[in-house]
Amino acid sequence: MLEVTDSAVKNVKEYLSQHSIESAVRVSMISGGCSGPSLSLSIDEAKDSDLTVEKDGVSFVMDKGLSATCGAVKVDFIESSGGCGCSGGGFTITCENPLPGARSGGCGGSCSSGSCC
C-alpha cells in the first residue's frame, strides 16, 4: 500500500509545476548514509512492474517488489522551522517494515532513517 498525504501532493504539484515536469514521482530505495538504505522520491516514468497511485492529478509509482518488502509506505510533507537542516519543511517517507540492511541509530543527526528532509 502506498499512501500520499494531501500536504505531500500539494508540495509535489508545486515542484512539478515550477519545473514544467509531467512525469510520475517514484518512491525508491537508495543505499548509503550512516543508517543504511532509505526511501527517496525521484522523477521517473511508470513501469509495468509498478504499483501506481494517482492523487489530484499526480502519479506516484513504486516497484511492487519494494512495496512487498516495505509493507505500507506513507509519503508526507512536514512543515518545519528548523531541525534536521530544513527550514520550511521537507518530505518524509516511512514504511511499515524495516528496510533490508537498515541499521538503527545513525551518525549523530536528529533524524531517523527514512524521515530526513
Average confidence score pLDDT of the chain = 83
Average pLDDT over residues 20-45: 89
Say what the pTM is. 0.78
Which H or E element spans position 95? strand 90-95
Which pLDDT belongs to residue 98? 82
Report CA-CA distances (Å) from 89 to 54, 64, 103: 23, 29, 25
Is there a contact between 60 and 25 (Cβ–Cβ < 8 Å)?
yes
DSSP state of 99: P
Q: Considering only the top CATH level, what class is 2-95? A: mainly beta
pLDDT tens for 61-73 read: 999 999 999 999 9
Tell me the pLDDT tens digit for each residue of 73-104.
Answer: 999 999 876 555 555 678 999 999 888 777 65
- Which pLDDT band holds residue 50 (cuts at 50, 70, 90)? very high
Indicate whether 17 pLDDT > 80: yes
Q: What is the structure's pLDDT at 37?
A: 86
On whether the CB atoms of residues 2 and 73 are closer than 8 A, the answer is yes
Q: Which residue has the higher pLDDT, 37 or 89?
A: 37
Locate the domains of the chain by residue range.
Answer: 2-95
pLDDT surpassing 90 at residue 44: yes
